[in-house]
Chain A
Amino acid sequence: MNAQGFGFVTGIIVGLILVVILFKFANTNNKIKTEYDERQEKVRGKGYMYAFYTALIVQAILVLSSVCKIEIPVEDYILHFAGILAGCLTLGIYCTWHNVYWGLNNDHRRYGLVFVVAIIINILAIAGPAMNGMLFEENGKIGLPALNIMVIFMLSVIGIAYLLKKAVDAKKDTEEED
C-alpha cells in the first residue's frame, strides 16, 4: 500500500469512528443503533430496496461512461462513492417522505447539530484546497474534495426534503383540524 492509500484508509477509519461517536451522542439512550417501530422498519425495508436499485443504476451508468470513454472530471476512486452516496440519498429521501425521519431513541436537537456539524466539516475540507488552488489534481481531475462536495449535496438534499415534509405535514394537520 502506498502513502496515499494508507492516508485514505486511515481517513476512512477515523471518519467511521467519528460517526460512531456522533451517533452515540445523538441517541437519547447512548446506543449507536437507532431504534425503529414496526411501521418504520417496514418503510426502511422498502427504502433499502430502492437504495440498492439506485446504487446499481449509478454503477451501471459509470461502467457505461467508462466503456464509451466519456471523461468525467473526477478521480476514478472517488467515482466509486457516487453509487454508495446515491443509494444513501435515495434511502434518506424515501424514509423522510414516508414519515421515518426520527427513530424512537433520537434526540432531535442533537441530530440536527450533528447534521450541521457534518456539513460544516465537509465545507471546511473543500475550503482549504479551493483557496490554495489545489482543488484539481495534476491530471485536471478533482480528487478527494469531490467526495466532500457529494456528501454536502446529499446532506443538503436530505435536509431540504425534511423541511419540505415538515411543512407539508403542518399544512395537512391544520386542514384536518379545520
Chain B
Amino acid sequence: MKNLRLKAARAGMDMSQDDLAKICEVSRQTISSIEKGDYNPTINLCIRICKALNKTLDELFWE
C-alpha cells in the first residue's frame, strides 16, 4: 500500500526524495520504495524519517 502521507509530508517541506534520502542516510530508491509501499522500513529508519520531516510515527506510519 502506498504511503501517501510520507510523500505529502516530504512535498510539504519542499524536499525531493534525494534530499530526504541524504538526511536519513539511505538511498533515494529506498525512500521511493517506502512511498510506493514496496518496502517496510525498520523502526529506526521510520524514526529518522519522522525526525527529518518533523512528524510523529503515528502521523506518517500508523494505519
Contacts and interface: CB of A to CB of B under 8 A. Distances in A.
Contacts of A40: 27, 30
A163 interface: no
A99 interface: yes
B33 interface: yes
Interface of A: 36-40, 99-100, 102, 104
A74 B32 CA distance: 45
User: Nearest 5 CB-CB pairs, A to B?
Assistant: A99-B29, A37-B26, A39-B30, A39-B39, A37-B30
A40 B33 CA distance: 11
B33 A39 contact: yes
B42 to A, nearest CB: 6
Interface string B31-60: 011000001011011000000000000000
Interface in B7-43: 25-27, 29-30, 32-33, 39, 41-42
B26 A99 contact: no
A99 B32 CA distance: 10
Contacts of B25: 37, 104
A102 B27 CA distance: 8
Nearest to A39: B30
